Structure 1
Amino acid sequence: MDMVKVCRYDKVPRDGAIAVQVDGTPVAVVRSGDNLYAISDVCSHAEVSLSEGEIYDNTIECWLHGSCFDLRTGEPTNPPATESVATYRVEIDGDDIYVSLDPIA
């Protein structure tokens, strides 16, 4: 799938996330330190927005029940979530962020 422009880099807060849509799919664009990630914006446990959670140690924490997901792999790092969430390719071109819904292999 092609890369889709989703936002400007300066719209994503440091150690924070924003919610975007890529072809109708909810995606959280996340900055953790100097790293940029794109991950499903839907918690696999409670189906709430992950982009509203806290970012630390390359994880995002679901605000509802506290499950954390590794931003690199989408794997849950603690319960109650047991299922992974999708991670996506993300690139910066100039001041713009692009995401592809092709899963990271």
Structure 2
Amino acid sequence: MPQIKLCAVSEFGEENVKTFRVGKKDIAVFKVEDTFYAIDRKCTHLKGNLAKGKLVDKTIQCPLHGAIFNLKTGELLKQPGTLAGWFKKAKNTTIYRLLIKDDFLFLEE
């Protein structure tokens, strides 16, 4: 399985999120304690930037309309709480497998 080097683990420091463009994919990588999670950067509802969302435990809340996703599974935990959520529903998001090797973070394709 091909692996794409993203960054050194130490680059996260105090930051808990970084974004990457891998081919045509926009990916957000979140650090929660000592674990890394990678998901699509754009919300499945109206493409809000999840990297700018509210991180709580192992969930991310979209900054646009409040959809909440599980970082480990990609499961949609809460639909958007606005009128926009009534007309267009969010769905589960894509997760990506990560690997740490020699203190570098890799995306497995």
Same fold, TM-score > 0.5, yes or no = yes
3-state SS of the aligned residue for 2:10? helix
List 4+ stretches of structure 1 deviating above 6 A: none
Partner of 2:10: 10
Give the greater-gyration-radius structure (CA).
2
TM-score (norm 1): 0.85
| 1:17–1:30 Cα contact (<8 Å) kept | yes
* Structure 2: gaps spanning 5 or more residues: 81-88
TM-score (norm 2): 0.82
3-state SS of the aligned residue for 2:78? coil
Q: Which has the higher helix share?
A: 2
* Structure 1: gaps spanning 5 or more residues: none
Partner of 1:82: 90
Aligned residues: 101
Cα 1:30–1:13 shift into 2, 3 Å: farther
3-state SS of the aligned residue for 1:19? strand
2:104 to 86, 96, 100: 96
Query: What RMSD over aligned residues (CA atoms) do the two structures have, in Å?
Result: 1.7
